Amino acid sequence: MKHIIVTIPLIVMIGIYISSFRHNKAMNFTQIATGLGYPVQEYYVVTQDGYILKLFHIPGDRSKPILLMHGIIDSADTFIIRGKTSLSVGLADAGYDVWLGNSRGNRYSRRHLSLDPNIDKEFWDFSFHELGYYDLPAMIDFILDETGVKSLSAVGHSQGNTIFLVLGATRPEYNDKIKVMVSLSPVCYLSNINNAVLYLMNFIPAIDQFYRLIGEEEFLGDDTALIRLYRNICGSKKSYGVCANGIMFSLAGSDPDGMEPDFFPTVVKHYPTGTSKKNVIHVSQIGLRRSFAKFDYGCKNIEVYNSSKPPEYDLGKVSMKVVLLVGRNDEISRLEDVRLLESKLPNVVNSTILKHEKFNHIDAVWGRNMSVYLFPYIFDILSKYG
């Protein structure tokens, strides 16, 4: 009897371990784009604080550079995994010089001049604040230098938009380097999120405690045990019911027509792909504190900010042109929160609720029909302001 009690968990563990080698590795951005007939150049950009970021480039008209920034725990892959109907391909076909950034900590930007992400906890001491304050300036200046123009257009999805707000608020001189920032599923205020997301946010402090216990600072990275397990369970068409319907749709909004079972395993291969625990905590603070403010260190705020509360980001300083595009079925970027953001920003040139009733948070990057429901708006706006 004792033997069985010991052996069964052992066999299960060995099974999980072996199966984690079984799934084939995802293709990288360059391989996917090249396979579609779009040659890619890869660059490294070093931030002021030593992070080494990967920038992908699909060359086009150098006078029209555009930078695409992914959302939380995501990567540049998000703008190519839909193949021919992906945004990066659509923009390349339209002649734009397409650049794709990768924020620190994801699968392409897990490098630093002196810190080792596998050993040094300091590597993971960042949130979306640093993605906006350090990563964006490094990438923007690099692109402007390479192309020789004074400003570029930008598209951000979800947190890929938040970081431009941080940039505009904390380094106002960068506002002039952005012609227009097209914000897909904008995330800033998170005061009206749905129950599933709120539940998750309330759970974050417990996750934090657990991570402290096991000494982890990286969150949902490709090589973590949790993500290996997730890729094994959710990486097949058969688990669509549990993983897409059960998890993804309840968090992001449901549109089964936009996310068919054949495509879901591709998403699972590429998403999620790592960020810091601190980033996730900061996002949950925005929701729970109902304020778009810097990281809340609790009793250490006085030391860090000379104030008992973290200072709010001054959205009045974000003078770049901003376009807000949101779907009414988005469970994360709720219309009420987007309206509040619109009221705080001084230069929103267009704010549009997409016509497609089911359009949700993830349709903007992975939706099967986004080239019909969304891209015409983006192209129209870029031709006006880009």
Ligand X SMILES: *[C@@H]1O[C@H](CO)[C@@H](O)[C@H](O)[C@H]1NC(C)=O
Interface contacts to ligand X, rule CB under 6 A: 28, 30-31, 42, 54, 108, 257, 306, 350, 352, 368-369, 372, 377, 380-381
* 108 versus 126: smaller Cβ distance to ligand X: 108
Say which of 97, 330, 337, 363 is annotated catalytic: 330
Rounded to the nearest whole angstrom, what is the least distance from the CB of residue 340 to ligand X in the complex?
Answer: 19
Is 356 designated active site?
no
Which residues are paired to 52 by β-bridges?
46
Rounded to the nearest whole angstrom, what is the least distance from the CB of residue 284 to ligand X in the complex?
Answer: 27
Cβ neighbours around 171 below 10 Å, total:
16
57, 212, 306, 367 from 273: Cα distances, Å? 20, 20, 35, 19
Tokens of 268: 């699972």
Strand pairing class (275-276; 218-219): antiparallel
Rounded to the nearest whole angstrom, what is the least distance from the CB of residue 382 to ligand X in the complex?
Answer: 9
Beta strands in the chain (DSSP E): 41-46, 52-58, 61-69, 96-100, 152-157, 178-184, 218-219, 275-276, 322-326, 348-353
Is 3 designated active site?
no
* 11 versus 372: smaller Cβ distance to ligand X: 372
* 132 versus 274: smaller Cβ distance to ligand X: 274
Those residues with Cβ within 8 angstroms of residue 87's Cβ, 6 or more apart along the chain or in another chain: 68, 79, 155, 365, 370, 375, 378
Rounded to the nearest whole angstrom, what is the least distance from the CB of residue 40 to ligand X in the complex?
Answer: 9
Residue 341, CB-side half-sphere exposure with 13 Å CA sphere: 29
Rounded to the nearest whole angstrom, what is the least distance from the CB of residue 335 to ligand X in the complex?
Answer: 16
Rounded to the nearest whole angstrom, what is the least distance from the CB of residue 63 to ligand X in the complex?
Answer: 22
* 30 versus 276: smaller Cβ distance to ligand X: 30
* 232 versus 369: smaller Cβ distance to ligand X: 369
Is 127 designated active site?
no
* 20 versus 85: smaller Cβ distance to ligand X: 85
Conformation bin of residue 349: beta by default, left when phi > 0, alpha when psi is -120 to 50: alpha
Those residues with Cβ within 8 angstroms of residue 275's Cβ, 6 or more apart along the chain or in another chain: 72, 73, 103, 105, 106, 218, 219, 220
Distance from CA of residue 68 to its chain's centroid?
10
Those residues with Cβ within 8 angstroms of residue 376's Cβ, 6 or more apart along the chain or in another chain: none
Say which of 88, 103, 153, 158 is annotated catalytic: 158
Say which of 75, 183, 361, 363 is annotated catalytic: 361
Phi, psi values for residue 349, rounded to 5°: -90, -20
The DSSP code sequence of 126-152 is --HHHIIIIIHHHHHHHHHHHH--S-E
Active-site residue set: 158, 330, 361
